[in-house]
Amino acid sequence: MKCGSMKKLILLTGLSLFAQDVTFKSETKLVIVDLTAKDKNGNPITTLKKDDIALFEDGVRQQISVFELQKLGGEPLTPLSFTADAPRTIEERAAPKPASVAPAANSVVRYQDRRLLCLFFDMSSMDAPEQVRAEDAAVKFLSSQMTSSDLVEIMTYTTSLKVVQEWTDDRDALISTIRKLTLGEGADLADMAATSADENDDSGSFVADETEFNIFNTDRKLSAIEDAARKLSIFPEKKALIYFSSGIGKTGVENQSQIKATTNAANRANVSIYPVDARGLVALPPGGDASQASPRGTGLLSQSKQNGIRSSFNDSQETLVTIAEDTGGKAMLDTNDLAMGIRRAQQDMSSYYILGYYSTNPKEDGKFRRIDVRLLNKEVNARLDFRKGYYADKTWQKFTAADKERQLEEALTLGDPVNDLPLAIEVDYFRVARERYFVPVSVKLPGSAVGLVRKGAKQTNVLDFIGQIRDASGKLVSGVRDEITVKLDEENASKIAQRHLQYDTGLALGPGTYTLRFLARENLTGKMGTFETRFTIPDLNSAKSLRLSSVVWSSQKEPITAAVGDAGTSKKLTAQSPLVQDNQKIVPSITRVFRRDQTLFVYFEAYDPALDPDRKTPSLTADVELLLGGRKIYTSPPARVTKLATARPGVAPFSFQIPLSKLPPGQYVAQIDVIDETGRKFAFPRSEIVLLAPSNPGTMARK
């Protein structure tokens, strides 16, 4: 049958050749490089000729096919008669019809001698007063500081990225567009609050199309910036992205790879990012402002509360500084003149050259191509600034087995992460010996991002998982590598778009600070996702306070035999895991999003509690509190442990089951109250969770 099929295919191909003319096609892609040349005083040099420049790719000289000078002036326009105090509503001020500047036809350079400034308003991170300040700063710049060379585009982000005004120099149209932005839109997302799933979640390619992935994913703002850079990449000119926000926090599901992916996408698109902190100059009250609940305990007296507030504020600005420095921009922080951030971008963009060449390397191998530009004219003393390279295209269907293996290794080790496949990862720790800890690693990816192909009665795909763990010095200490074939019946295959796939593994590590870099790839289309995070395993033996493991929050328990794919379950690994009890495994909820038709499972362990001198037994109590808006909504019945576990010495396990059906939807602070009555020690670990209205979620877990 195989031989007959092959013959039939050859026959049909032969017939089609005789039925029509044969056409051979060859495709080459133009590579664009923006080049800035400045003299020793920092002034742009605009007298270079094409013959003065030599351009190399991987050491091979390339023929320059495009050589254009972008001469940017700084002549200010006449100030408009109205100011930032103009009426705020459409009814009070008639809006002129927006007008866009048409790009040049049949030309690589679309906007000749134009400075491209994109104003990006991240409404999801700004409260309403901060949105007002950001909009007023933009209006101030447009009305009195814009020059004749400037073209401006306006983007907004709430739950999706929108281009609300194309490139234009019509200041009336730009100001009208800004005034039309709805104040307070997206402000409820500033603290990652959400109460129900968004059925119209059209966030685009930069985040998963599952609301659960969007709520607690602190990378969604970075993903939106990455998507904005990709949209701007179609323009070969230099671009400045002025990003108005109130910082990018570091709570929730954090992926350090997303920072690299965002900055790399911006660099490839010739986009410099200029973040502007719309909070301005902030004075932080010692106990927090009125938006926060009053501090409990002695935190206010010991300054730990104030230090925590300041640390959180600094963390939200640290990411802004990182993406600015890595893309050649500048972060504007702690100033009430927000328009200064736009002016800084305007001043930094001086005259430059656009170079274009057709690469002599036709391979679509996805490798990094290094670019070098040299000045041949020895009479000109200039400092050259240009992008250092790019990644070649890759065609997954043409990859051999060796190519696929090499791709995995390079994607894991090179500095250009990929985020086509959204991932969320949780790393926990449980003590199994005095100096050894069992570290469960859970990886979740949305089922809608995984394609399936029919093989017999099943729908299948092959997933690759590879991870590396390095210590604080960068030394590789452990790793994981699995290839799992997913097999789904018709019922589960039809529901995969509304479900998730979860991969679980475990490692044995000692105390210390580690970096986990993890990669997942689905082998039907070749989509990959990279996740990088730092985690710390504390040395509980030296802790003076009550010693606790990680707290695992879950909505699902599964039999260890229930799996849609398996890489070969290790019985030793299963026996080590504290999450496996009575042949049932607690599946961690990585995104910490639950629904009211689910049960919340909570598991953690206390170590080395004090023992009663006479009875030689411990006495520990614990309960779970759920707080909504600073008010206590629920307190679980207390659990008491008076007997240590027999399998591992010095372990007091706690397990809770909390029905969620009677709780209102919203964003909760979940607090564990643990008291060692004999040792007179206590601990109050906290976590944020979100409770949604019921729907039809599901998780397919691999054990």
Q: Which of 507, 542, 577 is the last residue of a domain?
A: 542
| Nearest to 253, CA basis, from 287, 221, 213 | 213
* Domain contains 43: no
Same domain, 282 and 197: yes
Predicted local distance difference test score (pLDDT) of residue 219: 67
Predicted local distance difference test score (pLDDT) of residue 1: 38
Same domain, 215 and 87: yes
Predicted local distance difference test score (pLDDT) of residue 108: 64
The two structure tokens encoding residue 167: 């490139």
Predicted local distance difference test score (pLDDT) of residue 284: 63
Tell me what the mean pLDDT of segment 661-665 comes to: 91
- Per-residue b/e over 79-107, b at no fewer than 16 CB within 10 Å? eeeeebeeeeeeeeeeeeebeebeeeeee
Domain tally for the chain? 3
| 51-55, 225-229, 256-260, 643-647, range with the lowest pLDDT | 256-260
Predicted local distance difference test score (pLDDT) of residue 25: 45
Neighbouring CB atoms inside 10 A of 560's CB total 16
The two structure tokens encoding residue 308: 């925590």
Of residues 461 and 603, the one with the higher pLDDT is 603
Of residues 83 and 448, the one with the higher pLDDT is 448
Specify whether the backbone of 657 is left (phi greater than 0), alpha (psi in -120 to 50) or beta.
Answer: beta
Predicted local distance difference test score (pLDDT) of residue 603: 96
* Domain contains 451: yes
β-pair type (631-635, 620-628): antiparallel
Same domain, 564 and 623: yes
pLDDT confidence bin for 701, thresholds 50/70/90: very low
Predicted local distance difference test score (pLDDT) of residue 676: 93
pLDDT confidence bin for 362, thresholds 50/70/90: confident
Same domain, 525 and 550: no
Tell me what the mean pLDDT of segment 272-289 comes to: 78
* Domain contains 559: yes
| Nearest to 204, CA basis, from 234, 167, 231 | 231
pLDDT confidence bin for 209, thresholds 50/70/90: very low
Same domain, 671 and 582: yes
Predicted local distance difference test score (pLDDT) of residue 217: 55
The two structure tokens encoding residue 516: 């986990």
In this model, does residue 32 exceed pLDDT 90?
Answer: no
| Nearest to 452, CA basis, from 425, 412, 492, 409 | 492
In this model, does residue 200 exceed pLDDT 50?
Answer: no
Helix then strand then coil, in percent of the chain rounded to 5, is 20, 35, 45
Predicted local distance difference test score (pLDDT) of residue 215: 56
In this model, does residue 601 exceed pLDDT 80?
Answer: yes
Q: Where residue 178 sits, what CATH number does that domain have?
A: 3.40.50.410
pLDDT confidence bin for 167, thresholds 50/70/90: very high
Cβ-contact 504, 701 below 8 angstroms: yes
In this model, does residue 330 exceed pLDDT 60?
Answer: yes
Same domain, 525 and 596: no
In this model, does residue 186 exceed pLDDT 60?
Answer: no
**Maximum CA extent, the chain:** 98
pLDDT confidence bin for 702, thresholds 50/70/90: very low
Q: Which of 542, 568, 598 is the last residue of a domain?
A: 542
pLDDT confidence bin for 177, thresholds 50/70/90: very high
Cβ-contact 453, 460 below 8 angstroms: yes
Predicted local distance difference test score (pLDDT) of residue 366: 67
Predicted local distance difference test score (pLDDT) of residue 619: 93
* Domain contains 617: yes
Exposed/middle/buried for residue 632 (C-beta within 10 Å: 0-12, 13-18, 19+): exposed
Question: What tens digit of pLDDT does each residue of 532-551 get?
Answer: 889 999 999 888 889 999 99
State what percent of residues in the chain have pLDDT above 70: 77
Same domain, 221 and 118: yes
Task: Report the SS3 class of residue 408.
Answer: helix
* Domain contains 37: no
State what percent of residues in the chain have pLDDT above 90: 29
- When the pLDDT of each residue in the chain is averaged and rounded to a whole number, the result is 79
In this model, does residue 675 exceed pLDDT 90?
Answer: yes
Predicted local distance difference test score (pLDDT) of residue 699: 45
CA angle 362, 366, 369 (to 5 degrees): 70
Tell me what the mean pLDDT of segment 18-40 comes to: 66
pLDDT confidence bin for 455, thresholds 50/70/90: confident
Predicted local distance difference test score (pLDDT) of residue 256: 72
Q: pTM of the predicted model, to two decimals? A: 0.67
Tell me what the mean pLDDT of segment 685-703 comes to: 66
Tell me what the mean pLDDT of segment 446-456 comes to: 82
Predicted local distance difference test score (pLDDT) of residue 515: 92
Same domain, 125 and 196: yes
Same domain, 284 and 433: no
- In DSSP notation, 326-386 reads HHT---B-S-S-THHHHHHHHHH---EEEEEEE-S----B--EEEEEEEE--TT---EEE-
Predicted local distance difference test score (pLDDT) of residue 497: 73
Predicted local distance difference test score (pLDDT) of residue 124: 83
In this model, does residue 142 exceed pLDDT 90?
Answer: yes
In this model, does residue 97 exceed pLDDT 50?
Answer: no
| 98-107, 307-316, 364-373, range with the lowest pLDDT | 98-107
Same domain, 534 and 551: no
H/E segment holding residue 324: helix 304-327
Same domain, 147 and 193: yes
Predicted local distance difference test score (pLDDT) of residue 201: 36
Question: What tens digit of pLDDT does each residue of 402-417 get?
Answer: 777 777 777 777 666 7
Give the Å distances, CA to CA, from 296 to 307, 585, 676: 15, 35, 19
* Domain contains 179: yes
Range of the structural domain that residue 258 is part of:
72-350
Question: What tens digit of pLDDT does each residue of 35-59 get?
Answer: 888 888 888 888 999 999 999 999 9
Distance CA 447, CA 3 (A): 37
Q: Which residues touch 682 (CB under 8 Å, ≥6 apart)?
A: 546, 673, 674, 675, 676
> At how many degrees (to 10) do helices 256-268 and 304-327 cross?
30
In this model, does residue 513 exceed pLDDT 50?
Answer: yes
CA angle 372, 376, 378 (to 5 degrees): 130
Same domain, 126 and 184: yes
* Domain contains 46: no
Q: Where residue 567 sits, what CATH number does that domain have?
A: 2.60.40.3880
* Domain contains 378: no
Tell me what the mean pLDDT of segment 677-694 comes to: 88
pLDDT confidence bin for 17, thresholds 50/70/90: very low
| 278-287, 334-343, 643-652, 682-691, range with the lowest pLDDT | 278-287
Tell me the torsion sign for CA atoms 533, 534, 539, 543.
negative
In this model, does residue 665 exceed pLDDT 60?
Answer: yes
Q: Which of 484, 516, 542 is the last residue of a domain?
A: 542
In this model, does residue 88 exceed pLDDT 80?
Answer: no
Distance CA 401, CA 424 (A): 27
Tell me what the mean pLDDT of segment 637-661 comes to: 91
In this model, does residue 578 exceed pLDDT 80?
Answer: yes
pLDDT confidence bin for 206, thresholds 50/70/90: very low
Q: Where residue 532 sits, what CATH number does that domain have?
A: 2.60.40.10
Tell me what the mean pLDDT of segment 596-610 comes to: 93
